[in-house]
């Protein structure tokens, strides 16, 4: 933007990829100054089954910046899909695997939906996790999502 700018109203955020916490996006800059910044402080966006919360801020009096402040698994992903696929062992102490070897990405979420572990294979070490119930999401080479519950001993 050339000259001074004012930002008011709402912000529409469209994601085209999976973002991570602390990712920062400068969505506007000005050669002048930002006169007013009347935007919501945060905004939640649903993308690819995850809820991303962004902070919205005018920074250095010349930038509009979006920062990812949280990423959680959306509840609609917790379903019984691909019934033939299982986790083993379950309950698990050390390493957990999907029975489907076409799964090439595993993400583990705590019961609040926060990502706690990630692996680019069909198995993952869970020995660092506390005892409890977790949600495990596997992604196949065909980009099919399979979600299961895991009990950690």
Running along the chain, 153 residues long, what does each successive block of 10 average in pLDDT? 88 85 92 91 84 91 92 58 80 93 91 90 94 91 84 94
CA atoms within 13 A on the CB side of 86: 6
- The pLDDT value given to residue 119: 94
Burial 75-114 (b: 16+ CB within 10 A, else e): eebbeeebeebebeeeebeeebbbeeeebebbbbbbeebe
| Three-state DSSP state, 75 | helix
Stated pTM of the model: 0.54
Which top CATH class is 75-152? Answer: mainly beta
> Residue ranges per domain, the chain?
5-73, 75-152
Backbone φ/ψ region at 50: left (φ over 0), alpha (ψ -120 to 50), beta: beta
Euclidean distance between CA atoms 133 and 136, whole angstroms: 10
Q: Tens digit of pLDDT for each residue in 89-116?
A: 999 999 999 998 889 999 999 988 889 9
CA atoms 147, 68, 116, 18: torsion sign: positive
């Amino acid at each position: 933007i050339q000259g001074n700018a004012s930002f008011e109203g709402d912000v529409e955020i469209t994601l085209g990829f999976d973002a991570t916490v602390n990712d920062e996006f400068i969505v506007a800059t000005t050669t002048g100054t930002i006169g007013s910044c009347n935007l919501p402080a945060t905004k939640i966006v649903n993308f690819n089954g995850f809820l991303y919360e962004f902070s919205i801020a005018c920074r250095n009096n010349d930038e509009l910046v979006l920062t990812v402040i949280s990423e959680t698994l959306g509840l609609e992903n917790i379903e019984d899909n691909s019934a033939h696929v299982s986790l083993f062992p379950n309950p698990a102490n050390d390493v957990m695997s999907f029975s489907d070897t076409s799964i090439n990405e595993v993400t583990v979420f705590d019961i609040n939906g926060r990502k706690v572990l990630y692996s680019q294979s069909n198995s993952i070490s869970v020995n660092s996790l506390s005892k409890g119930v977790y949600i495990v999401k596997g992604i196949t080479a065909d980009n099919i999502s399979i979600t299961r519950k895991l009990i950690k001993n």
